[in-house]
């Protein structure tokens, strides 16, 4: 029999699913896959419930309901001062995951090169490859995740079509500075290239760090597709409502990709997300402040348990070095070990690299109740003591 698609057949199950399954198997606290353990805002959930019962359950418009496209456009202006056309500059997708695939489809022809920055989110490379495009990988320099400017410049060439930029970044928690973004913008102009900006954590940034969308920099409005996720912004990760904002010239092509991927996204959730995006500033400030407290809490607890904890300025995540545990195996082996023996699951950072990768870092999600974070840290501390004894 002929084989199915070779690339997909060879691809492993995502690390997030693997570690969540292991956590369930061992009854472990799951600080692996990034999802909050409390509900999102009650008014947004209530709006979705009401919208299910208002007899508007048929296909919504291809690019999204008018309410949500207007809300996305208004949020672009309110939070980032961006001018996005609600009718022609927004496409609503089924999660940022679909938005990423649709943007990559919209920009890349087979043979085009795309610059990607490691460590990277695990859907990027498979989709780039399925499109027959050529990834050019550049690694940030740990532990402060510095952008190696000369290497980045060298990764651009005459065949570069785009860069895929994730800020705030998963798994590092890095928030790209305006200076770094300015450097990327100059490369895009020099090489006539586009940017897909994965900004799903746009509202999860910890002061004094500040999120800056590349799309807002001089000369970038026609070159950038900016992706947001209601799942992250409203702590409702299962909802899978994403949105792409950008110039109509590009967004129109993203809509063509979307029409062939899912065509539309559930109208009820779209209407609830529109209400959510219009929430007052206090909601967004409390979201970031609450998570910053959790970052601090988990960071302190992990340090106390013997980890070296790296800085995180945004997202749900913090990276820790487990060298002090005296564990001989890889990061994947360590994650399995702590899931089984401490009852705490995490994600190996090597999963965010292709090929040779550092193997002494693991990623913890801190979007959990304080009591859960505290219990996870005391379990890890007990394990460390047991190992040291």
- Of the candidates 196, 224, 172, 184, which has an alpha carbon nearest to the alpha carbon of residue 100? 196
Q: Which residues of 66-76 are buried (b: 16+ CB within 10 A; e: fewer)?
A: ebbbbbbbebb
User: Least distance (Å) from ligand GLN to the CB of residue 335?
Assistant: 13
Window 78-117: contact mask with ligand PMP (x via CB under 6 A): -----------------xxx--------------------
When asked if residue 200 is in the footprint of ligand PMP (CB under 6 A), the reply is yes
Q: What does R_g of the chain's alpha carbons equal in angstroms?
A: 21
| CA–CA dist 226, 213 (Å, integer) | 8
Q: Which two tokens stand for residue 121?
A: 């989110």
When asked if residue 265 is in the footprint of ligand PMP (CB under 6 A), the reply is no
Please identify, using beta-carbon distances, which residue of 194 and 317 lies nearer to ligand GLN. Answer: 317
What residues from 163 to 182 belong to the interface with ligand PMP (CB under 6 A)?
Answer: 166, 170
When asked if residue 229 is in the footprint of ligand GLN (CB under 6 A), the reply is no
- Contacting residues for 205 by C-beta, under 8 A, at least 6 apart: 168, 175, 211, 288, 313, 314
Residue 160, strand partner residues: 113
Please identify, using beta-carbon distances, which residue of 166 and 245 lies nearer to ligand GLN. Answer: 166
- Which residue sits closest to ligand PMP, CB atoms considered? 95
What residues from 207 to 236 belong to the interface with ligand PMP (CB under 6 A)?
Answer: 229, 231
Query: In this structure, are residues 171 and 346 in contact, taking their beta carbons and an 8 Å threshold?
Result: no
Q: Cis peptide leading into 249, omega within 30 of 0?
A: no
Please identify, using beta-carbon distances, which residue of 96 and 342 lies nearer to ligand PMP. Answer: 96
When asked if residue 93 is in the footprint of ligand GLN (CB under 6 A), the reply is no
- Of the candidates 195, 119, 101, which has an alpha carbon nearest to the alpha carbon of residue 351? 119
Angle between helices 267-277 and 66-80 (to 10 degrees): 30
Sole binder of ligand PMP in the list 64, 102, 121, 277 (CB under 6 A): 121
Sole binder of ligand PMP in the list 67, 113, 198, 331 (CB under 6 A): 198
| CA–CA dist 249, 299 (Å, integer) | 44
Please identify, using beta-carbon distances, which residue of 33 and 265 lies nearer to ligand GLN. Answer: 33
Strand, helix or coil at 115?
Answer: strand
What's the number of CA atoms in the CB half-sphere (13 Å) around residue 153?
8
Window 146-175: contact mask with ligand GLN (x via CB under 6 A): ------------------------x-----
When asked if residue 30 is in the footprint of ligand PMP (CB under 6 A), the reply is no
- Residue 246 interface partner, choices ligand GLN, ligand PMP, none, CB cut-off 5-8 Å depending on type: none
When asked if residue 183 is in the footprint of ligand GLN (CB under 6 A), the reply is no
What residues from 16 to 55 belong to the interface with ligand GLN (CB under 6 A)?
Answer: 16, 33-34
Binding site for ligand PMP (CB under 6 A): 95-97, 121, 166, 170, 198, 200, 229, 231, 237, 240, 242
Binding site for ligand GLN (CB under 6 A): 14, 16, 33-34, 170
């Amino acid at each position: 029999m002929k084989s199915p698609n070779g690339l997909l057949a060879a691809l492993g199950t995502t690390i997030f699913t693997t570690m969540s399954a292991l956590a369930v198997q061992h009854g472990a606290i799951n600080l692996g896959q990034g999802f909050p353990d409390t509900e999102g805002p009650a008014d947004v959930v209530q709006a979705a419930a009401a919208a299910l019962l208002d007899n508007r359950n048929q296909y919504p418009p291809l690019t999204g309901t008018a309410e949500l496209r207007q809300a996305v456009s208004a949020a672009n202006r309110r939070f980032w001062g961006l001018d996005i056309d609600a009718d022609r500059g927004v496409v609503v997708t089924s999660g940022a995951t679909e938005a990423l695939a649709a943007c990559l489809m919209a920009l890349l022809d087979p043979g085009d090169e795309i610059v990607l920055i490691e460590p990277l989110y695990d859907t990027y490379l498979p989709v780039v490859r399925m499109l027959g495009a050529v990834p050019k990988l550049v690694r940030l320099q740990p532990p402060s995740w510095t952008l190696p400017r000369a290497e980045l410049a060298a990764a651009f060439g005459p065949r570069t079509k785009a860069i895929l930029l994730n800020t705030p970044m998963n798994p590092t928690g890095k928030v790209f500075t305006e200076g770094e973004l300015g450097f990327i913008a100059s490369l895009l102009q020099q090489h006539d290239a586009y940017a897909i900006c994965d900004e799903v954590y746009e509202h999860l940034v910890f002061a004094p760090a500040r999120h800056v969308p590349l799309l807002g920099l001089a000369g970038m409005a026609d070159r950038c597709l900016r992706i947001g996720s209601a799942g992250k912004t409203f702590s409702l990760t299962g909802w899978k409502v994403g949105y792409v904002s950008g110039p109509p010239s590009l967004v129109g092509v993203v809509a063509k990709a979307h029409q062939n991927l899912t065509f539309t996204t559930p109208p009820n959730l779209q209407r609830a997300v529109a209400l959510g995006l219009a929430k007052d500033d206090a909601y967004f400030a409390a979201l970031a402040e609450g998570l910053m407290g959790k970052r601090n809490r988990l960071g302190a607890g992990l340090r106390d348990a013997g980890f070296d904890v790296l800085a995180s300025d945004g997202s749900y995540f913090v990276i820790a070095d487990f060298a002090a545990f005296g564990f001989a195996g890889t990061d994947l082996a360590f994650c399995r070990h702590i899931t089984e023996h401490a009852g705490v699951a995490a994600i190996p950072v090597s999963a965010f690299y292709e090929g040779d990768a550092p193997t002494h870092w693991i990623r913890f999600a801190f979007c959990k109740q304080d009591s859960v974070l505290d219990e996870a840290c005391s379990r890890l501390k007990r394990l460390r003591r047991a190992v040291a004894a």
